[in-house]
A and B are shown apart, each in its own frame.
Chain A
Amino acid sequence: MSSDAKAAAPPAEVPNAGQVAAAVRGFIADIGPTVALALSSCVHCGRCAEACQFYVQTGDPRYTPIHKVEPFRRAYEREVGPFAFAYRLLGLAPKITPDELARWQELIYDSCNMCGRCSLICPMGIDIAELVERARHGMFAAGLAAADFLGVLAEKEHATGSPFGLVRSQFEDMLHAIGRDHGVVMNVDKGTADIVPTVSSIDVKMYPASMAAIAKVLNHMGASWTFRTDGFDADNVSLTAGDRAGQRKITLGIVKAALACDANTVVMPECGHSFTEMRWEAANAFGEALPFRVLQITELIAEGLSVGRIRVNKVPHSATYHDACQLSRRGGATAAPRVILEALGVELHEMEDAGATNWCCGGGGGVALIKRAQPLMDKAFEIKQRQIEVTGVATIYTSCSGCRQTLEHGGKARNWNKTVASLLELVADNLKD
């Protein structure tokens, strides 16, 4: 497994045997036919490496996407594969060693955004991004979720429902304060409402205006809506950390809150993973089809625009749009932002490879929350920088606060004179009364 790659980030503390056993249990706990097929299918063609921003930018073969889940694959073949007994008997899949697991922490966390470009290229149809997400379950169970921000935030989120440990009353106060500051009517914890919007913890921390923006849009629509402090922060850091129980807790909290007020729509914020989690996995945690729709905020706005429920002023200017991986490539919400931009009269200069095949900003999947991954993330960001520079525009819109934060961070490091802005806020600022 060793390679002659450049110096890697310092490895995690080496786990003990019990932790390794816990990792293996976490790896094999919920393997169904899809994951089994995926783990069996790799033909070592190497194309996934060419799709991955981390390999492309560093040339380090260890960042080959399918290689990132090698311990996961070995556990599968050894414990629950079709020839498991032969693998064990003949030593074909050696037991994972503590040292290997420690070395793989960087590969599974620091160098993967779960952006899905690898899944898009794989000729065998292996959803490698999903395999990384699953592999994180085992790593978390071993106590090897990347320790700094990500691990700490996940722990807090599991305990309190918020990565920053905020409680319901704090959310309530915050929302009312935002309402006052922005002159917006805020609905909080109403007993009945059609629409329940959610926010991401990044918005809470960094972009409070986006919460005002959601309220503005919903008020403009004349919708019956409410924030629910019992199902508020959709960020789900637990997901990116690999904490299955925490992930479930956050998701079901939102579901329950929506049920409690008989909502027919839950709106996901400008955030990537929260959307894919709620839209595509929440029903599975719930055990049956959700009795409400799940829309990302751009989908809600695009829908509203198309039926005339939302009206906007034209604000002609040049800009480009960065597609959040989870929203477009993984989530299927690629068209909505462009409907919105067109309605706003924005002169859209698309990046090369724009849309569902776009490059990841490099910050997703929790990577932005891992301090030691900063250099790697910055290296990956160079691709995004080049893409943007080629368009020649000064404004980049995006509909994911994680991307927004990463783009701003990357831009600051390069002293560029470009503006990164939220598409939601652009809409909210230009609603036609």
Chain B
Amino acid sequence: MTLLAFARGPALQAALLIMIAGIFWRLAGIFLLPPRAQHAAPRHSLAGRIGGGALMIVSRFIPHHTFWPRVAMSVVLSTTFHLGLAIILLGGAPHILLIHQVTGLTWPGLPKGLIVISSGLTLASMIVLLIRRITHPVLRMLSTVDDYLSWLLVFLPVLTGILLAGETIGGYGTLLALHILSVELMMVWLPFGKLMHGALVFAGRWGMGMNFARKGAAT
């Protein structure tokens, strides 16, 4: 079996199944713990609390004034990275094609040049983020193997992707195989490390938003 056939076939199946099983395992392990009943009289109605939950998912992207400029660097880098990645994933024609194959949904893609620029910005922000993680005393203290591994497992797909889109370095078939395999590696690790924040962030912000709306606390 060629490497590409392996990547598009058995490896894709194994990686997706492991990722799906892992995600559900982790979520079930968290959310099937005994919940704590809240009996205190809420300040807002259920509708208001649901609204609070939804609002916090969005509002947490921009920190409050009191935290600037100390978090400016972190926010700019992180936003650039995530937005860049979103543009690549949701705007890149091959990715839309893959989503279409799996879900039937489709939408117009962005011009390839934009995707390449976005990829460049994403890679650049990732490199700066890594340097920051290694040099900033707080980040260096907090960081574990998971942080660096997760970085690598996201960096490789973006890197192989931009090389593939550029079509100047390496054979298309080999690069495509490496690109797909690198994504599969990321998928396999995802449920078990910090990459899971892709799912947890919504639950966390939602929960805090609802809870804080209940109390009228600052959000």
Contact = CB atoms under 8 A, between A and B. Distances in A.
Indicate if A touches B (C-beta under 8 A): yes
Interface of A: 3, 30-34, 36-38, 40-47, 49-51, 55-56, 59, 61-62, 64, 66-67, 80-83, 116-117, 119-127, 279-284, 286-290, 293-294, 328-334, 352-353, 355-359
Contacts of B203: 37, 125
A47 B40 contact: no
B56 to A, nearest CB: 7
A330 B215 CA distance: 8
Given A37-B30, A82-B29, A283-B39, A66 B142 contact: yes
A355 B209 CA distance: 18
Contacts of A31: 33
Given A34-B36, A334-B218, 9 more contacts: A32-B33, A37-B207, A42-B142, A83-B29, A123-B201, A125-B206, A281-B40, A282-B40, A353-B65
A150 to B, nearest CB: 25
Nearest to B44: A332
A375 B187 CA distance: 48
Contacts of A121: 63-64, 67, 71
Contacts of B201: 41, 123-125
B61 to A, nearest CB: 7
Contact of B30 (A40, A46, A56, A125): A40
A280 B40 contact: yes
B216 to A, nearest CB: 3
B194 A44 contact: yes
A38 B205 CA distance: 10
Contact of B74 (A47, A125, A331, A332): A47
Contacts of B194: 42-44
Contacts of A119: 208
B138 A49 contact: yes
Contacts of A67: 141-142
Nearest to A127: B208
B42 to A, nearest CB: 10
B36 A359 contact: no
Which 9 A-B pairs rank lowest in CB-CB distance, beginning with the nearest?
Answer: A82-B29, A332-B216, A356-B218, A125-B204, A283-B39, A125-B205, A353-B66, A50-B70, A125-B208
Given A41-B204, A125-B56, A289 B40 contact: yes
A43 B194 CA distance: 6
B207 to A, nearest CB: 6
A49 B32 CA distance: 31
Contacts of B137: 3, 59, 61
B143 interface: yes
Given A46-B136, A64-B141, A67-B141, A32 B35 contact: yes
Contacts of B140: 61
Given A34-B211, A82-B30, A284 B38 contact: yes
A119 B203 CA distance: 15
A288 B41 CA distance: 10
Nearest to A84: B29
A310 B35 CA distance: 42
Given A40-B200, A81-B29, A125-B201, A332 B217 contact: yes
Chain B's interface size range is: 35 or more
A56 B66 CA distance: 13
B39 A286 contact: yes
Contact of B66 (A40, A124, A281, A359): A359
A307 B27 CA distance: 49
B108 interface: no
A330 B201 CA distance: 21
Nearest to A285: B39
Contacts of B196: 40
B37 interface: yes
B98 interface: no
Given A38-B204, A124-B200, A44 B143 contact: yes
A44 B142 contact: yes
Nearest to B40: A283
B139 A44 contact: yes
A49 B136 CA distance: 12
B16 to A, nearest CB: 20
B95 interface: no
A276 B54 CA distance: 24
Contacts of A66: 142
B10 to A, nearest CB: 25
29 contacts: A30-B36, A33-B32, A33-B33, A33-B35, A34-B35, A36-B31, A40-B30, A40-B196, A41-B204, A44-B142, A44-B147, A61-B137, A61-B138, A80-B33, A82-B25, A124-B204, A124-B205, A125-B207, A126-B204, A281-B40, A283-B38, A289-B41, A329-B217, A331-B215, A332-B215, A352-B66, A356-B217, A356-B218, A357-B65
A400 to B, nearest CB: 16
Nearest to A67: B142
B211 to A, nearest CB: 7
A50 B201 CA distance: 20
Interface in B50-66: 56, 60-61, 63-66
Contact of A125 (B39, B41, B209): B209
A58 to B, nearest CB: 11
B31 A127 contact: no
A161 B170 CA distance: 75
Contacts of A38: 204
Contacts of A59: 137
A33 B30 contact: yes
A67 B43 CA distance: 32
B112 interface: no
A317 to B, nearest CB: 27
A61 B141 contact: yes
Contact of B36 (A32, A64, A282, A332): A32
Contacts of B80: none
